[in-house]
């Protein structure tokens, strides 16, 4: 389970009558997740050094060194380009899906990796929502004020990096992210509206197809054989 998944479940379980041991566990999870929460959607961009590491066929992902085959490398480079994020972060996503279900066909594995990427972002936002919601709840009942203290002293206490090299409050960073997500959604909507064809991972042109033509099945990209990686 992702650490933010565990935090989300713990926050949902908070009650005015929660025992002290439960509150201590929640506080520990909050402290552990602080940097992730304050980073919001900040993920390193694509990196030439990471791309070379992936292409070398051997990469350190988390606390493991993986030996990668051609299919895994192709999937990672494909997703890194389209998500525009760190190659090693993408490799961790794909590896997580592989460990969960090693028998997926490549197309489904890529789709699930994308879904996992967005699911983690959604969970982060949900955790922030529960924290802020809990701060207000603590003001109207007798529950211990662990969320209020955490929000003031840890989560919102220090400045965070903003765009253009500035620093500011986490609230301002959240507003920046909202604008960035809005712009991304508009680009995606425009791309879907204007799309006329698809290409596979090797750049071969597929049959011309409007994505809005719902009477015809969408083509699926070709990404090579299954079983993309082994670990050492």
Residue 189: what pLDDT? 77
**CA dist list (Å): 195 to 15, 151, 169, 189:** 49, 44, 39, 10
pLDDT for 143 beyond 70: no
Task: Determine the distance from the C-alpha atom of residue 147 to the mean position of all C-alpha atoms in its chain, rounded to a whole number.
Answer: 24
Residue pLDDT, tens place only, 181-220? 888 788 777 777 776 445 454 445 444 333 333 333 333 4
What digits encode the pLDDT tens for the residues 26-73?
999 999 999 999 998 888 899 999 999 999 999 998 888 989 989 999
Identify whether 184 is part of a domain: no
Percentage above 90 pLDDT, the chain:
45
Residue carrying the six token digits 């712009």: 183
Residue 170 belongs to some domain of the structure: no
178 domain-assigned: no
The residue among 210 and 18 whose pLDDT is bigger is 18
167 lies in a domain?
A: no
- pLDDT confidence of 178, banded at 50, 70, 90? confident
Mean pLDDT of the region 113-138: 91
Assess if residue 16 is contained within a domain: yes
Chain-centre distance for alpha carbon 40? 10
Question: How many domains does the structure of the chain reveal?
Answer: 1
Q: How confident is the model at residue 142 (pLDDT cuts 50, 70, 90)?
A: low
HSE, CB side, 13 Å, CA atoms: give it for residue 195: 18
Q: Tell me the whole-structure pTM to 2 decimals.
A: 0.76
Number of CB atoms found within 10 A of residue 3's CB: 12
Residue 70 lies in a domain: yes
**Domain housing 42:** 3-158+195-231
Tokens 């109207």 sit at which residue? 140
Residue 232 has pLDDT above 60, yes or no: no
């Amino acid at each position: 389970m992702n650490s933010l998944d565990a935090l989300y479940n713990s926050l949902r379980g908070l009650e005015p009558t929660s025992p002290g041991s439960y509150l201590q566990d929640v506080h520990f999870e909050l402290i552990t997740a602080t940097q992730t929460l304050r980073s919001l959607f900040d993920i390193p961009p694509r990196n030439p050094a990471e791309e070379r590491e992936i292409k070398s066929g051997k990469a350190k992902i988390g606390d493991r060194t993986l030996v990668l085959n051609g299919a895994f490398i192709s999937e990672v480079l494909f997703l890194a380009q389209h998500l525009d994020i760190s190659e090693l972060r993408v490799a961790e996503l794909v590896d997580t899906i592989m460990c969960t279900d090693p028998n997926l066909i490549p197309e489904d594995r890529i789709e699930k990796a994308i879904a996992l990427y967005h699911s983690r972002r959604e969970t982060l936002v949900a955790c922030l929502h529960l924290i802020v919601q809990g701060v207000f709840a603590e003001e109207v009942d007798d529950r211990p004020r662990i969320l209020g203290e955490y929000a003031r002293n840890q989560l919102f206490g220090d400045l965070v990096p903003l765009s253009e090299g500035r620093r500011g409050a986490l609230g301002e960073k959240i507003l920046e992210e909202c604008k960035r997500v809005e712009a991304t959604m508009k680009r995606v909507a425009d791309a879907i509206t204007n799309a006329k064809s698809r290409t596979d991972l090797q750049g071969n042109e597929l049959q011309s197809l409007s994505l809005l033509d719902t009477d015809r099945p969408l083509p699926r990209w070709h990404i090579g054989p299954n079983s993309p990686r082994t670990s050492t």
